Structures are given as C-alpha cells and as structure tokens.
Amino acid sequence: MLRKRVATAAVLLPVLVASILYGRGQPYGWPFLLVAGLAAVLCAREFSRMLLPGARTTAACAFLSLGVFLGGALLPGALVLPAVLLCVLLAAFHVLPGAAGPAEKAREGATLVLGSVYLGGLLSMYPRTLFLPRGEHWVLLGILSVAAGDTLAYFTGRAIGKRKLAPAVSPNKTVEGGAGGLAGSVACAALYAHAFLPAVPAWYAAVVGCAVGAFGQGGDLFESMLKRAAGVKDSGTLFPGHGGVFDRVDGILAAGPALYLLAALAPSAW
C-alpha cells in the first residue's frame, strides 16, 4: 500500500507543482485553475455518489461545485457572495421536481448545497492565493504542510498512538498522531518559508503551519465522517493506494481559507 501511495504521489506531485509555478505568470493562472477545477468536479462526483445517488443529482453536484469554484476563484470580491448564493438557490431548486417526499427532498437539497459550497468554495481559495504577492509559494507551503502533517500523523500514530482522537468518526486516528502531524505541518511551513519566503518571520510561518495543519486534520476527520455515513472505505478508486480525489484533498480543502487569510495578512506584505 505504501509503495502504491509513493508511486502515485511521484506522478501527481510534479504536475501539481508545474501548474502552480507556471500558472502564476499566465492569464487567470489557467494551468492551476484547470487542475483545481478538475479536482472540484471529481470531488463533487465522488461526494454525490457516496451521499446522493442518481446520475441527475451527480451531474448537478459537479456543475454547481464548478460554478462555486469559478465564482470564488475569478470574480471580484464583492461579486463572490451573490454568485455563491445563486448556486445555493440552484442546488435547493434542483430537488423540487420529482415524486420523493418533502423530507427526502429537504435532505437531498441540504446535502447538495453542502457538497457544492464545501468542495467548490474551499478549493477556490487556492487560485485566489496564487495571485497574492509570492502566491505560488504560499500555495505550495500550504499544500506541502498539510501533506507533511498527514504523513507525520500516520507514522507517529503507528509508532506511539494510544489515545483515540475521534473514535466514532475515524477509529484509527490517535491524539498522539494528531500532535505529531501538527508538529510536522509547523516544521514544514517554517522550513519552506525560510527557503522561499525569507521576508516572512519564522514565528509567522509556524503560525501558518499550525493553522493549516489543524484545519487539514479537521477536514480529514470530516471526510471520514461522510464516508462512515455512506458506509464506504474510500470516496473513489481513481488513485492506486490513495482512494479517490476527495480522499487525497480532504485536508487541503479545509486548509484553504486559513491559508488565504494568513498569506494575505503576512508581515512581509505590511
């Protein structure tokens, strides 16, 4: 399993890094916008297949997630909220036709709204971060810090994990693993900033690492809860050894807003 994970990461990571570094100088950051938008659509497809079975609803979830993503990533700040709310209304109205009862329609509508905004909205933070000053390095810092935390949490938990972190949601995760993962995120952020964002103080980079690491672990746990609710082990099977796209970006998704805010407020921009 570990060998498959490493092989898959070895293929995907260069593509991701190239889209970020090359996209920084392109109109709308289109290479990275394309990668992140594709991730939003694939995540929405997996989300819908877990919780909202049916080809019509799966297509709606993918379409609306992409709409929220593009609105959040490309529109001027004052227009983002109306665009997102328009997608929320479309998601709610989508469930009105059909013979299902009101309770089922309400559940389906609420779940469709959640999937569209959670997936498309959170992923839209990364293209916006890309166009902040030194944005390509902030994006990489965030993604690598979440990945480092995930890796350290896994190995720390296996080595010394005893106390369960959230047994009802993810029985294998431990408090010790979570602490090790958080330390890994902090260390990765501090080291990356020292190398590529030298104007950012070490303490601030550590704060960013702590924030994205904590939110990343929360996103991981939230996706685990969704999978347990759906009765599945993985969100999909696209990546050997990794599961689906949602399985791979659950922590990165949740870290997006904190990364954007802290990158925009970085002391180097004062």
The pLDDT score that the predictor gives to residue 100 is 85
Q: What does the buried/exposed string (b/e) look like for 37-63 if buried means 16 or more CB atoms within 10 Å of the residue's CB?
A: bebbbbbbbbbbbbbbeeeebbebbbb
The tens digit of pLDDT for each residue in 172-204 reads 999 999 999 999 999 999 999 999 999 999 999
CB distance 16 to 40 below 8 Å: no
Instruction: Find where tokens 């989300």 sit.
Output: 47
Please provide the average confidence, as pLDDT, over all residues in the chain. 93
Residue among 105, 75, 262 nearest 185 (CA): 262
Residue among 128, 266, 143 nearest 197 (CA): 266
CB distance 193 to 205 below 8 Å: yes
At residue 152, does pLDDT exceed 60? yes
At residue 269, does pLDDT exceed 80? no
Q: What is the pTM of this model?
A: 0.93
User: How far is CA 129 from each of CA 123, 135, 172, 259, rounded to the nearest angstrom?
Assistant: 10, 6, 33, 8
Percent share of the chain, pLDDT over 70: 95
In terms of C-beta density within 10 A (0-12 exposed, 13-18 middle, 19 or more buried), how is residue 25 classed? exposed
The pLDDT score that the predictor gives to residue 1 is 53
The tens digit of pLDDT for each residue in 30-75 reads 999 999 999 999 999 999 999 987 889 999 999 999 999 999 999 9
Give the range among 122-131, 135-144, 171-180, 240-249 with minimum mean pLDDT: 240-249
The pLDDT score that the predictor gives to residue 2 is 55
